[in-house]
Amino acid sequence: MNETVYISFPKNTQVNTARVSIGDCASVWCEDAHITARVKAITLANVPDVRSRRYVFSIMKVIELIKNEVAGVEINSVGESDFIISYKKPQKRSRILEYAKIVFIGLIVFCGGAFAIIAYGNDVDINSVMESVCTFVTGDNNWLWVLQSSYCIGLGAGIIIFYNHIGRRKYEKDPTPLEVEMRLYEDDANTAIINESAREAKEQDVK
């Protein structure tokens, strides 16, 4: 009786080794541990000396490679039928440069956000609104600072709650709206890359 090999590829896998094997990209399982090891060791691609390279594979090509290397096995793919392997050459990172980027981006975001809030407040004449509310509630403007402080605190708290982040911490395990949009974009981009590769006949597929 032939052994069955179960294999699952994600849609996109990033690697940093020049020799890319099935085990680097996929989850592989078989009752026979020796067959599992042999399948994981099969080479998918040998990347030339470049900074980055992208390969698009069809699961049919993987099945062909496995059949050529390991005879008498049945392949059951439970993952993607087409997938991407993204190679990026490992490079040493400069901590100073990383911190400089963080500070630079933080300043841009802070200044841009502050300008947007100020422009919005100016458009709706927020000072007059607060003065009217304060006068209506208390009868004068002596407590205007309380309303202004509450507005500032509420604005910051609302942003934290919406983005579900306080520094590196999350108060909930659910992904933030920004993370959801990023994942949707990544999925759409991967699908477009696969479709474009198939259209241009650059996909690694059976002949």
Q: How far apart are CA 117 and CA 5, in angstroms?
A: 57
- Tokens read off for 124: 């709706």
Q: Which stretches of the chain drop beneath a pLDDT of 70?
A: 1, 164-172, 205-207
**Residue that finishes a domain, picked among 91, 108, 140:** 91
pLDDT at 83: 92
pLDDT at 168: 63
pLDDT at 34: 92
Q: 146 and 102, same structural domain? A: yes
Q: Is residue 204 part of a domain?
A: no
What's the pLDDT tens digit per position in 73-98?
A: 999 999 899 999 999 888 777 888 88
pLDDT at 175: 76
Which three-class secondary structure state does DSSP give residue 27? strand
Q: 150 and 69, same structural domain? A: no
197 burial class (0-12, 13-18, 19+ CB within 10 angstroms)? Answer: buried
Total number of domains constituting the chain: 2
Beta strand residue intervals within 64-156, DSSP E = 73-77, 82-88
Q: 84 and 137, same structural domain? A: no
Q: For the chain, what's the residue count?
A: 207
Label residue 139 left, alpha or beta by phi (over 0 means left) and psi (-120 to 50 means alpha): left
- Domain limits at 189? 95-198
Q: Which residues, 6+ apart, have CB-to-CB distance to 29 below 8 Å?
A: 5, 6, 7, 36
The domain that contains 64 carries what CATH number?
2.60.480.10
Rounded to two decimals, what is the model's pTM? 0.68
Q: 120 and 186, same structural domain? A: yes
**Residue that finishes a domain, picked among 91, 115, 134:** 91
**Residue that finishes a domain, picked among 30, 63, 91:** 91
Q: Is residue 53 part of a domain?
A: yes
